[in-house]
């Protein structure tokens, strides 16, 4: 985090990334003094409503975040920024996206949690677009021009007002991660009672184990001795508002619909109270670790891994076999995970995996048989990317093995 005083004093000259959050109501023109170096500008958590035309002078700017501000219109000047690739205006009040506001080099657009009812046709005229986050708006349809987005790989359209399945997305050759729950066309009309409901007073939360867009997972202890459940549990308390992936209730129902599988986090019980939604799960043993890291700005949609991380081909082969079984189990239950990634997978030293995070999951039993097959095909691309990412960290001495060649041929 930087300060306005640092900027004005010239202390920040030459920096590539600037973060300012000081309840700004106007764009500080002093930022223009960084035009020769600035690549990432984060103006989130301010009170901004407009951007000046002069921002186009930031010719090296690649990434602009302006989440949690007061924008009503996506600024048209963004389209004048010659190298801008990533635009993030989450949680504003945006109800208009002018044709001219979308940069020519756009790869990644985040407009989650706004007030959009329509999108411009120019969205389909951005050939580099890879990642599109539109959950939590009021969209009733998507532009037909999106059928031209041949590089689009990840789409989030959950929690909107889409009345028809967006067929123009199904023909996209690279679409691999797709979340669409919480729309009229994907209304599940089911309430899963496969696990019992408990009161939140039945347990006490302890230390936080992790958190994501949709909630916080904590270790918990029972307040009274239990005979029906294991002693060690974890509880995911869902956030009340819409997330980047959709509604918490949809995540909970999709997770329950999938049911149990040896390589999935096991659901034990649910909590449904006023302003409190939670899922009680088996506590994952401490020796499990994350298989991958989330995508970075450069990789956009593909997972990353720690430096010098590698896996023997025997472990990769075993992990892939387990994920194949998980994939089959998910789609046998007509649930699309929507976020099939190594960073949502835990593994141990013997290459046993536990797969989780159903924030982007969507039940799709209400779709036609053809549409269901297309959804499965989309997620199969994510599975192939998962395999490809693991092969990228295969131990060098195993790259001539038959197993490596077989998996590499499968990826194509």
- Which among 261, 340, 245, 249 has a CA at the least distance from the CA of 301? 340
Beta-bridged to residue 96, according to DSSP, are: 73
Quick check: 111 and 139 in contact, CB under 8 A?
A: no
| DSSP class of 155 | E
Q: Identify the pLDDT of residue 354.
A: 97
pLDDT tens, per residue, the chain with 412 residues = 899 999 999 999 999 999 999 999 999 999 999 999 999 999 999 999 999 999 999 999 999 999 999 999 999 999 999 999 999 999 999 999 999 999 999 999 999 999 999 999 999 999 999 999 999 999 999 999 999 999 999 999 999 999 999 999 999 999 999 999 999 999 877 767 678 999 999 999 999 998 877 889 999 999 998 888 999 999 999 987 777 778 888 888 898 899 889 999 999 999 999 889 999 999 999 999 999 999 999 999 999 999 999 999 999 999 999 999 999 999 999 999 999 999 999 999 999 999 988 989 999 999 999 999 999 999 999 999 999 999 999 999 999 999 999 999 999 8
Task: Return phi, psi of residue 411, to 5°.
Answer: -65, -30
Residues 290-317 pLDDT 10s = 999 999 999 999 999 999 999 999 999 9
Return the sign of the alpha-carbon dihedral for residues 396, 400, 402, 406.
positive
The values of phi and psi at residue 309, to 5°, are -75, 135
Alpha carbons within 13 angstroms on the beta-carbon side of residue 92 total: 28
pLDDT of the residue at 245:
78
Give every CB contact of residue 68 below 8 A, 6+ residues apart in sequence.
44, 45, 46, 90, 91, 92
As given in the structure block, the two tokens for residue 69 are 């501000």
Angle at which helices 402-411 and 369-391 cross, to 10°: 140
DSSP string, 54-85: GGGG-TT--EEE--SS--SB--GGGGG-TT--
Reading the block at residue 220, the tokens are 């918990």
Measured CA to CA in angstroms, residue 8 lies from 30, 45, 72 at distances of: 6, 20, 28
Dist. CA 134–CA 112, nearest whole Å: 5
- Closest by Cα among 101, 94, 99, 49 to 75: 101
**Alpha carbon of residue 184 to chain centroid:** 21
**266 secondary structure, DSSP code:** P
pLDDT of residue 313: 98
Sheet of strand 345-347: strand arrangement: 289-290, 345-347, 353-355
Phi, psi of 168 (to 5 degrees): -65, -15
d(CA 146, CA 113): 21
236 is in an annotated binding site: yes
Angle, helix 313-332 to helix 402-411, in steps of 10 degrees: 40
Domains contained in the chain, CATH given: 4-186 (3.80.10.10), 200-282 (3.30.200.20), 289-411 (1.10.510.10)
Q: Which helix (H) or strand (E) holds 381?
A: helix 369-391
Look at strands 215-222 and 203-211 and give their pairing.
Answer: antiparallel
> For 114-159, what is each residue's pLDDT tens digit?
999 999 999 999 999 999 999 999 999 999 999 999 999 999 999 9
């Amino acid at each position: 985090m930087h300060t306005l005083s640092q900027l004005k004093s010239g202390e920040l000259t030459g920096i590539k990334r600037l973060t300012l959050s000081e309840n700004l109501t106007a764009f500080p023109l002093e930022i223009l003094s960084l035009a020769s170096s600035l690549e990432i500008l984060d103006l989130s958590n301010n009170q901004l409503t407009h951007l000046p035309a002069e921002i186009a002078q930031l010719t090296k700017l690649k990434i602009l975040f302006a989440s949690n501000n007061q924008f009503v219109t996506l600024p048209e000047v963004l389209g004048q920024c010659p190298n801008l690739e990533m635009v993030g205006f989450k949680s504003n009040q945006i109800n208009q996206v002018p044709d001219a506001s979308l940069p020519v080099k756009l790869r990644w657009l985040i407009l989650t949690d706004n007030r959009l009812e329509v999108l411009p046709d120019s969205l389909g005229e951005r050939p580099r677009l890879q990642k599109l986050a539109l959950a939590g708006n009021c969209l009733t349809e998507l532009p037909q021009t999106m059928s031209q987005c041949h590089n689009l790989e990840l789409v989030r359209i959950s929690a909107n007002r889409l009345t028809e399945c967006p067929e123009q997305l199904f023909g996209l050759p690279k679409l691999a991660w797709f979340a669409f729950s919480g729309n009229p066309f994907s209304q599940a009309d089911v309430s899963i009672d496969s696990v019992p409901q408990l009161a939140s007073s039945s347990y006490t939360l302890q230390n936080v184990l992790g958190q994501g867009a949709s909630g916080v997972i904590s270790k918990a202890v029972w307040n009274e001795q239990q005979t029906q459940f294991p002693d060690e549990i974890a509880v995911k308390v869902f956030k009340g508002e819409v997330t980047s992936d959709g509604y918490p209730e949809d995540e909970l129902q999709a997770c329950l619909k999938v049911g149990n599988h040896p390589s999935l986090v096991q659901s034990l019980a649910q909590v449904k109270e006023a302003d409190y939604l939670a899922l009680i799960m088996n506590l994952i043993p401490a020796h499990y670790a994350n298989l991958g890291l989330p995508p970075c700005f450069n990789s956009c949609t593909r997972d990353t891994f720690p430096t010098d991380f590698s896996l023997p081909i025997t472990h990769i082969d075993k992990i892939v076999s387990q994920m194949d079984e998980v994939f089959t189990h998910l789609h046998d239950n007509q649930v699309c995970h929507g976020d099939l990634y190594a960073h949502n997978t835990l593994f141990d030293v013997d290459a046993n995996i536990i797969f989780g995070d159903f924030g982007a999951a969507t039940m799709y039993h209400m779709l036609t048989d053809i549409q269901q097959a297309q959804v499965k095909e989309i997620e199969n691309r994510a599975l192939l990317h998962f395999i490809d990412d693991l092969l990228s960290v295969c131990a060098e001495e195993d790259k001539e093995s038959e197993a490596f060649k077989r998996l590499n041929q499968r990826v194509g």
